[in-house]
């Protein structure tokens, strides 16, 4: 009899895992609380297939991103889905950023980023991005743009073709381990499995509590907002223009990204969301906000990052402040070129009891239940590789 496996979460990681297991003969069921797949992080991001420039060598992020990039490209080729290698330029705007740029270059080389080039000639910089300002850069020509929601739907078709089930509108509200099996309780129906894997993103700590896992790490939601570049000014950007990130903070800063459908957006920022799924300032959950404020690490996190928090919130609310950040990289940009804010995304950032922000992917195991506790960017890029990692390290051995 085929092993019965339940997967909580219908984002790209959960569906990629379901696809792999179903194709290997397991009886797989995905339970997704929303009315469609890829509703949250998967369908609300920049659509970038990362090449692995930033991640600490040897980390899960670095290893799985490298493998995942290849797998996503091959999947898109197999399914005839759009995959555009538009390239990424990480730009040092002045000499003070050169040491941090050198560290990005070192990590990129160690991580095996393909065909990475260091550029110290401004003329060469302008050949790649004619409107950019900077003194040096690293160029990743194989960084690509895709549509992750469409990829997820294509993966779901494979799940169903292999005999797996995807149940939408099934929010898991209870988990019971009983008689060697796992019962998942939803308002619609109960489901019994031999194993369960939770890939719940913004709700990962909520699901972890249902099974009795450690409350830490907790999810701190950060909203990322984007401005759209006017179509007639999209030629200001050929591919992707990124800043040299501040190593003290886990976010990259405002950047320019040409998407798979040729739109160019500017962002994201990173502001604390007032609800787990708070895509605007008006979406407020007193419960979510209070849980974040009372977390043991809240005071430490605020003390360490309050200046950047004030800066990010200010630029979210005051367009000229955002514009100044973007114009550092493209001086020809005009305020009116930023036409409107597009749909925002919320990043599920895990943080510990001492206020530390987790950087790497993290997994917990509670008996027959596996919980993916931290899977921020580049989780979409790495999704197929994450699925293979979970199967190899958490689902291959017998339960118990």
pLDDT at 174 over 60: yes
Which of 104, 90, 88 minimizes the C-alpha distance to 144?
88
The pair of structure tokens assigned to 84 is 């555009």
pLDDT for residue 397: 67
Task: Quickly count: other Cβ atoms within 10 Å of residue 193's Cβ.
Answer: 22
d(CA 101, CA 383): 27
**Strand pairing partners for 145?**
48, 84
pLDDT bin (cut points 50, 70, 90) of residue 179 is confident
Which of 67, 134, 92, 151 minimizes the C-alpha distance to 392?
67
**Strand pairing partners for 144?**
49
d(CA 69, CA 250): 21
Task: Quickly count: other Cβ atoms within 10 Å of residue 208's Cβ.
Answer: 25
Q: Where are the domains of the chain?
A: 4-47+148-217+359-394, 86-144+220-350
pLDDT for residue 249: 67
Q: What confidence tens digit (pLDDT) does each residue in 49-96 have?
A: 999 999 999 999 999 999 999 999 999 999 999 999 999 999 999 999
d(CA 247, CA 351): 17
pLDDT bin (cut points 50, 70, 90) of residue 247 is low
Peptide bond into 239 cis (omega under 30): no
Parallel/antiparallel/unpaired status of strands 264-267 and 255-258 = antiparallel
Task: Quickly count: other Cβ atoms within 10 Å of residue 191's Cβ.
Answer: 19
d(CA 384, CA 366): 23
- Average pLDDT of the chain, as a whole number: 94
Tokens 């194989």 label which residue? 142
pTM of the complete model beyond 0.75: yes
pLDDT at 343 over 90: no
Distances in Å between the Cα of 298 and the Cα atoms of 279, 295, 311, 352 are 21, 5, 18, 9
* Average pLDDT value for residue range 126-147: 97
Which of 144, 132, 135, 127 minimizes the C-alpha distance to 50?
144
CA 160 to chain centre: 25
Across 60-64, 110-114, 242-246, 380-384, least confident range: 242-246
pLDDT at 248 over 80: no
* Average pLDDT value for residue range 7-12: 98
pLDDT for residue 357: 84
CATH tag, 86-144+220-350: 3.30.9.10
Query: What 3-state class would DSSP assign to 203?
Result: helix
Tell me which CATH homologous superfamily contains domain 4-47+148-217+359-394: FAD/NAD(P)-binding domain (3.50.50.60)
* Average pLDDT value for residue range 120-128: 95
H or E element: which one contains 119? strand 117-119
CA 212 to chain centre: 26
Across 86-95, 276-285, 309-318, least confident range: 309-318
d(CA 280, CA 92): 31
* Per-position DSSP letters for 296-332, written without gaps between them: TTHHHHHHHHHHHHHHHHHHHH-HHHHHHHHHTT-TT
């Amino acid at each position: 009899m085929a092993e019965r496996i339940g997967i909580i979460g219908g984002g790209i990681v959960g569906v990629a895992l379901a696809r792999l297991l179903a194709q290997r003969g397991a009886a797989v069921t995905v339970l997704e609380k929303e009315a469609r797949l890829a509703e949250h992080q998967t369908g609300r991001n920049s659509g970038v297939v990362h090449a692995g420039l930033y991640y600490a060598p040897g980390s899960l992020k670095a290893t799985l991103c490298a493998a995942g990039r290849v797998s996503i490209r091959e999947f898109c080729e197999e399914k005839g889905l759009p995959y555009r290698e538009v390239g990424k330029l990480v730009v040092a705007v002045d000499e003070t950023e050169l040491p941090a740029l050198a560290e990005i270059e070192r990590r990129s080389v160690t991580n095996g980023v393909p065909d990475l080039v260091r550029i110290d000639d401004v003329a060469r910089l302008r050949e790649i991005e004619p409107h950019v300002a900077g003194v040096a850069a690293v160029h990743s020509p194989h960084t690509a743009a895709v549509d992750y929601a469409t990829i997820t739907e294509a993966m779901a078709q494979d799940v169903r073709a292999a005999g797996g089930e995807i149940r939408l509108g099934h929010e898991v509200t209870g988990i019971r381990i009983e008689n060697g099996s796992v019962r998942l309780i939803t308002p619609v129906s109960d489901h019994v499995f031999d194993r369960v894997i939770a890939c719940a993103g913004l709700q990962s700590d909520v699901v972890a509590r249902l099974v009795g896992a450690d409350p830490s790490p907790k999810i701190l939601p950060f909203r990322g907002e984007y401005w759209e570049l006017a179509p007639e000014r999209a030629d200001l950007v050929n591919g992707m223009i990124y800043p040299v990130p501040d190593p003290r903070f886990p976010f990259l800063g405002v950047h320019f990204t040409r998407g798979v459908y040729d739109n160019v957006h500017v962002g994201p920022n990173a502001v604390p969301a007032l609800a787990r799924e708070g895509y605007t300032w008006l979406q407020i959950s007193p419960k979510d906000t209070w849980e974040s404020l009372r977390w043991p690490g809240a005071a430490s996190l605020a003390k360490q990052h309050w200046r950047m928090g004030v800066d990010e919130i200010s630029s979210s609310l005051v367009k000229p402040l955002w514009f100044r950040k973007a114009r550092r990289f493209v001086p020809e940009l005009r305020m009116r070129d930023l036409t409107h804010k597009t749909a925002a995304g919320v990043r599920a950032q895990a943080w510990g009891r001492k206020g530390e922000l987790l950087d790497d992917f993290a997994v917990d195991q509670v008996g027959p239940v596996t919980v993916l506790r931290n899977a921020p960017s580049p989780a979409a890029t790495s999704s197929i590789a994450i699925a293979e990692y979970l199967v190899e390290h958490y689902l291959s051995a017998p339960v118990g």
